[in-house]
């Protein structure tokens, strides 16, 4: 192909790199990670001794984002420590201020909440233009995960994050469906944990109106918590089946596992035990030891307590 004939690392990495970003925005997370890795390998194979570092590090950040959303936390953890070590050695503020915002779930997965907090604290980044950037939104999403993992006041956390979400809207971030969906999913999780049914229902309605499949998967997960709170276990179980299917289609495998885990606990019996075992097998493969915490972070029940 023409881009391969140039011999230029950025040009060669351009196609898989662009495809990786497109897959990410479309909610095809495992495919995004694969394409970003292909771009990284192309850059490493063709770059000069000192050139193309910015493109390389940007692709690595996109890969980290894809791995987190796919639920491939074992790969993300390995990438995290490698990139943070290299970035620290070269004084790379972009990587050291962005990657910790994506690595929080790796530490939640293993119960290292204090380490996660320390990494977030060290991820300081100041934009010289005083604008709103992706790092601001990523920090807000990381704070949502930490609030839910620690069992802190979800309503207070949501109030505290309203200015950030307001700035995201003002900066037109909500025009991008990927950002919009993840903000609404974060809001829904905090609303559920805080017992704010009306806000959770409003976020479900928003996500159900989106086009990417993972938005519908998130909406089903939240709706299942609402149905379970109503005592409608049959409807909750049905919604969790749909959530798992939609998450698998979007290559969000951890969310699919969480949906199966919740359904297994809900229906009980041998079938329920099998679903829980299948879900925990995947999570264990991803290095997740705090399984109940991870389930609570991604799919909290209404009021923060199982019915």
Residue 267 lies in a domain: yes
- Total-model pTM: 0.90
**Three-state secondary-structure class, residue 71:** coil
209 contact partners, CB below 8 Å, separation of at least 6: none
148 domain residue, yes or no: yes
pLDDT score recorded for residue 3: 45
pLDDT at 49: 44
Backbone φ and ψ of 7, nearest 5°: 75, 5
Give first-to-last CA distance, the chain, whole Å.
58
- Domain membership of residue 153 (yes or no) is yes
**Domain count along the chain:** 1
Buried b (16+ CB within 10 A) or exposed e, 72-95: bbbbbbebbeebbeebeeeebeeb
- Interatomic CA distance for residues 97 and 91, integer angstroms: 11
Range of the domain at 299: 131-304
Q: Does 190 fall in a domain?
A: yes
**In-domain check, residue 107:** no
Indicate whether 216 belongs to any domain. Answer: yes
**Would 203 be classed as within a structural domain?**
yes
Instruction: Write down the pLDDT at residue 1.
Output: 45
Q: What is the CATH number of the domain that holds 191?
A: 1.25.40
Using CA atoms, how far apart are residues 59 and 18, in angstroms rounded to an integer? 10
Question: Is 149 inside a domain boundary?
Answer: yes
Please answer whether residues 77 and 100 qualify as being in contact, where contact means their C-beta atoms are separated by less than 8 angstroms.
no
Distance (Å, whole) CA 64 – CA 212: 20
CA atoms of 78 and 211, how far apart (whole Å): 33
Token pair of 178 as six digits: 């990927």
pLDDT by residue, tens only, the chain of 307 residues: 444 444 454 555 567 788 888 999 999 999 999 999 988 888 888 765 444 577 888 889 999 999 999 999 999 999 999 999 988 888 888 888 899 999 999 999 999 999 999 998 888 766 555 677 788 889 999 999 999 999 999 999 999 999 989 888 888 888 999 999 999 999 999 999 999 999 999 999 999 999 999 999 999 999 999 999 999 999 999 999 999 999 999 999 999 999 999 999 999 999 999 999 999 999 999 999 999 999 999 999 999 766 5
Judged on CB neighbours under 10 Å (0-12, 13-18, 19+), 238 is middle
């Amino acid at each position: 192909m023409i881009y391969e004939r140039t011999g230029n690392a950025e040009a060669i990495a351009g196609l898989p790199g662009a495809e990786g970003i497109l897959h990410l925005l479309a909610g095809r997370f495992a495919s995004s990670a694969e394409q970003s890795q292909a771009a990284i390998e192309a850059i490493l194979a063709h770059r000069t001794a000192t050139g193309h570092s910015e493109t390389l590090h940007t692709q690595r950040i996109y890969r980290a984002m894809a791995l987190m959303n796919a639920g491939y936390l074992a790969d993300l953890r390995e990438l995290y420590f490698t990139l943070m070590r290299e970035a620290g050695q070269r004084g790379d503020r972009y990587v050291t201020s962005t990657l910790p915002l994506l690595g929080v779930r790796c530490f939640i997965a293993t119960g290292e909440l204090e380490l996660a907090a320390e990494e977030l604290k060290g991820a300081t980044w100041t934009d010289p233009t005083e604008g709103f950037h992706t790092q601001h939104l990523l920090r807000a999403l990381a704070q949502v995960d930490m609030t839910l993992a620690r069992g802190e006041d979800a309503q207070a956390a949501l109030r505290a994050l309203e200015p950030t979400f307001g700035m995201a809207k003002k900066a037109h971030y909500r025009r991008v469906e990927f950002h919009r969906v993840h903000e609404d999913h974060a809001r829904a999780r905090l609303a559920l944990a805080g017992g704010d049914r009306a806000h959770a229902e409003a976020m479900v309605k928003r996500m159900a109106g989106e086009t990417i499949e993972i938005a519908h998967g998130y909406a089903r997960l939240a709706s299942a918590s609402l149905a379970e709170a109503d005592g409608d276990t049959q409807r909750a179980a049905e919604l969790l089946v749909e959530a798992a299917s939609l998450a698998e289609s979007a290559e969000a495998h951890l969310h699919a596992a969480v949906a199966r885990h919740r359904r297994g606990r809900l229906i009980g019996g041998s079938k329920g035990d099998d679903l829980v075992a299948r879900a925990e097998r995947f999570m264990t493969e991803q290095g997740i030891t705090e399984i109940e915490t991870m389930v609570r972070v991604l799919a909290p029940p209404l009021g923060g307590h199982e019915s």
